[in-house]
Amino acid sequence: MKREEDIRNAIETMKRGGVILYPTDTVWGLGCDATNAEAVEKIYRIKKRNDSKALICLVDSDARLQRYVKTVPGVAWELIDTVTEPTTVILDGAVNLAPNLIADDGTIGIRITKEPFSHELCYRFQKAVVSTSANVSGQPTAQNYDDISEEILAAVDYVCFARRQEHKPHKPSTIIKIAMNGEFKIIRK
């Protein structure tokens, strides 16, 4: 299947409120429209995860990131501009997202993806896309397509074809929480 068709199918699935399984700039992920609370709830059910544990979302650009956070601190922009590995920033003042995607303290974990497939998916969808590891909570993270359990494969509405043949190590993103005053804390390295 051509990448354009794969992305079009994934976008159509998300527009209908469905959940996709897709390769990201880190590990394989479960994704949906980050503004659709029912779709976000489906992901929590698939992962068997308490919705008090917030999910991450991906965007394609600085401009798109700014749609989902009231104010981005300068130190966050410096970090985003200098990191070479996928890095998720947790920022205060989340807006325009499904309420069940936003943490109780009003923060959101968000990452600008540069990986070709997930970047084009976010660009063409024109919205933030949920990105959480394609596994049941507590189970090993699926680094490659072959690592994904049958339970997860059966639970999603669309499985992307991109990078299914890949067999190389991948790891989750670094996560850094950045407060409005510029203070930061490394949550995951």
12 sits in which H/E element: helix 3-15
**Separation CA 11–CA 174 (nearest Å):** 27
Q: Within 13 A of 12's CA, how many CA atoms are on the CB side? A: 9
Let me know if domain 3-188 sits in CATH 1.10.150.120: no
Q: Tens of pLDDT along the chain (189 residues)?
A: 899 999 999 999 999 999 999 999 999 999 999 999 999 999 999 999 887 678 999 999 999 999 999 999 999 999 999 999 999 999 999 999 999 999 999 999 999 999 999 999 999 999 999 999 999 999 989 999 999 999 999 999 999 999 999 999 998 999 999 998 989 999 998
- Give domain limits for the chain: 3-188
**Separation CA 13–CA 5 (nearest Å):** 12
- Note the Cα 107 to chain centre separation in Å: 15
